[in-house]
Amino acid sequence: MSEIVSYRYRLLPDRGCEEISDQVQALTGYSPSVFLETPSFFLDIVHPQEHSIVLQLLMGVLGSGRLRWMRADGSPVWVEMTAAPVRSDAQMVVVAGEVRRTTPPPGRCARYRPVCLELLEGGAEG
């Protein structure tokens, strides 16, 4: 099953997720109904360090960005999110796009790599 999630996020008159594909459950562990029934959940699932990225996407400043969503089990998943504005009377009323699993940006996990390699190689003494 594909982990490409399509979505429509309404900005006006009230913010909230209008549509989200079923694939979101495989990617995050959350059912689509959670996104649709909880207006803030589309933002709540974003890792706090990436809130500015998702806000720029939803405001139309960025067309795509790499960020972390937090899964139901508490683990992060890196995603590439695209956003295209849908306008009505010159106002941006909806953002539509896709979210897909991706790799972390270069350098984001480098500080953990030596510790992980040491543990994997059995070099760490307890």
* Residue 97 domain flag: yes
Query: The CATH number of the domain where 76 resides is what?
Result: 3.30.450.20
Domain ranges, residue 27:
5-120
* Number of domains forming the structure of the chain: 1
Task: Say how far apart CA 83 and CA 57 lie, in whole Å.
Answer: 6
Output phi, psi for 123, to 5 deg. Answer: -80, -15
Q: Dihedral of CA 31/37/42/43: which sign? A: negative
Alpha helices in the chain (DSSP H): 24-28, 32-37, 41-44, 51-59, 113-120
Give the tokens for residue 121. 């190689």
* Residue 125 domain flag: no
User: For residues 100 and 79, is the Cβ–Cβ distance under 8 A?
Assistant: yes
Question: What does each of the 126 residues of the chain score in pLDDT, given as a tens digit?
Answer: 567 999 999 999 999 999 999 999 999 999 999 999 999 999 999 999 999 999 999 988 999 999 999 999 999 999 999 999 999 988 999 999 999 999 988 876 544 444 444 444 444 444
pTM score of the predicted model: 0.80
* Residue 126 domain flag: no
